Chain A
Amino acid sequence: MGAYAYLAPQSVQEALSVLDDHLKRGERAQILSGGTDLLVQMRSVDKTPRLILDIKQLAEANRLEVTDQSIYIGAAVPSALMTENVDLQALLPGLMEAADLIGSTQIQGRATICGNLCNASPAGDSIPAMIAAGAQCEIASESGTRLLAVEDFVVGVGKNALLPGEFVLGLTIPRPAARQKDAYLRFIPRTEMDIAVAGCGVSVSVDAAGQCTAARVAIGAVAPTPRLVPEAAAALVGTTLDEAALAAAGAACTAASSPITDKRGTVEYRRKVIAVLCRRAVAIAKQRAIGA
């Protein structure tokens, strides 16, 4: 029934009232950002007509801001624009390398990390990196905006925590301290253009003596949703991020995983590889934090 329609609202209020109208009439509306998941799905698994609500004209969704306190990445900011930002390269190298792994040059010209998050794939590359960075989603609805931690946003395979009528405006991330750095590593069978077999995002803070004072570790592609692993962080804090601490954090990631076997890898393989990725990502983040 019905036909496709397209609208690019000029204000958040307009977008929300259109979403609300459709909800009340029982008609389907779907947010379009970069379209690199949505257009593929429209041609393959999900052909039903609906209203496509393009958020790329919204000033709020195009915000890309780095202040003394925080970083804001709007939901319409394409990866290519974000990863070109020199402040972000210096402050969040891990999140930038995760975004840089998503597809090709052409895909990054369009894809957004909020789209990666909303699509809620277990293997979404930027999600563990956002969790490690302590990102929160700013969610707009008719009743105002709310913040939700990224680790609580993905609730199942392809399922997110948005309520009907809500959409994500952007991400807010606390500005990393001077000796706080992140890193993201994934394993794929080739060097470009594939889906993660396992992925690990970490952020570590070190003091002047090289002791780890805070850490966040998140895993992807090894459970139905990306997961924050507080046990891995606990294994790092208070250490000098030595081999023993790295091994303990890796073991915590293996313990926190609940992977499946598919054509990309077996359960056993994924459980082993996630520990390796964690160790290596922490080592990279440590070097970055000490060097900073």
Chain B
Amino acid sequence: MGKMHVTSRINGELREFLCEPNQTLLDVLRDELGLTGTKEGCGSGDCGACSVVVNDRLVCSCLVLGVEAQNAEIETIEGVAGEELHPIQQKFLEHAALQCGICTPGFIVATKALLAKNPDPDEETIRYWLAGNLCRCTGYDKIIRAVQDAAKTLAHPA
């Protein structure tokens, strides 16, 4: 069959790309579109480093085919900040919720999806929602604090 032509809206912008039928959305984002903010960790859906939002659902882009993105709305880490950092990103910095940083884009995309659905999650809800995002540096506590603080900031902007 060879490469297929796909059109999708990525971070609000119409994008076209060619991809192999078995190429993952993760590889398309990184290798075809140069959106390298989305990271590859395990490649098998366990670590969440490649988290993106497709048609309002948080998914692992390593377990989505690029061809499935036809006509889809996709949000990646590159779409999170505007002129300034998003409050979630700002709070991750302030709470030192990252060290090596490989997992951070996935955590931020997942957190944004959580707070869009539930602006005031309790700690247990946050921990379960983020259970599919692995971090080998922080021990998670700082991430949870950052998410709680970001939720507060988003609910009551300064």
Interface, chain A (partner B; CB < 8 A): 3-6, 8, 32, 34-36, 39-40, 42-44, 49, 52, 54, 56, 78, 80, 103-107, 109-110, 192-193
Closest Cβ–Cβ distance, residue B44 to chain A (whole Å): 5
Whether B131 pairs with A105 at a CB distance below 8 angstroms is yes
Alpha-carbon distance A4/B21, docked complex (angstroms):
6
Instruction: Other than A8-B68, A110-B60, give 20 A-B pairs with Cβ distance below 8 A.
Output: A3-B2, A3-B21, A5-B1, A6-B21, A35-B65, A36-B45, A36-B63, A39-B45, A39-B63, A39-B64, A39-B65, A40-B63, A49-B22, A103-B132, A105-B58, A105-B130, A106-B45, A106-B58, A106-B60, A106-B110
- Looking at A39, A43, A49, which has the most chain B CB atoms within 10 Å of its CB? A39
Query: Residue B97 at the A interface, CB < 8 A?
Result: no
One of A6, A44, A56, A193 near B132 (C-beta < 8 A): A193
Contact of A106 among B20, B67, B70, B132 (CB under 8 A): B132
Q: Is the CB–CB distance between B20 and A4 below 8 Å?
A: yes
Q: Count the B residues whose beta carbon is within 8 Å of the partner chain — how many?
A: 34
Expressed in whole angstroms, the Cα–Cα distance for A78 and B56 within the complex equals 13
Q: Which residue of A lies closest to B132 (CB)?
A: A104
Q: Measured between alpha carbons, how far is A36 from B65 in the docked complex, in Å?
A: 11
User: In the docked arrangement, what's the CA distance between A49 and B22, Å?
Assistant: 9
Distance of A110 Cα from B45 Cα, bound (Å):
11
Q: B4 contacts A6, CB within 8 Å?
A: yes
**Beta-carbon contact of B57 and A52 below 8 Å:** no
Most buried by B among A35, A192, A193: A35
Chain B residues with CB under 8 A of A106 = 45, 48, 51, 58-60, 63, 110, 132
B46 contacts across to A, CB distance below 8 A: 193
Nearest B residue to A104, CB-CB: B132
Assess whether B65 is in contact with A6, with CB atoms less than 8 Å apart.
Answer: yes
Residues of A within 8 A of B70 (CB): 8
Known: A6-B4, A104-B132. A40 touches B44 (CB 8 A): yes
**Given the complex, which residues of A lie within 8 Å of B51, measured CB to CB?**
106
Do B132 and A105 have beta carbons less than 8 Å apart? yes
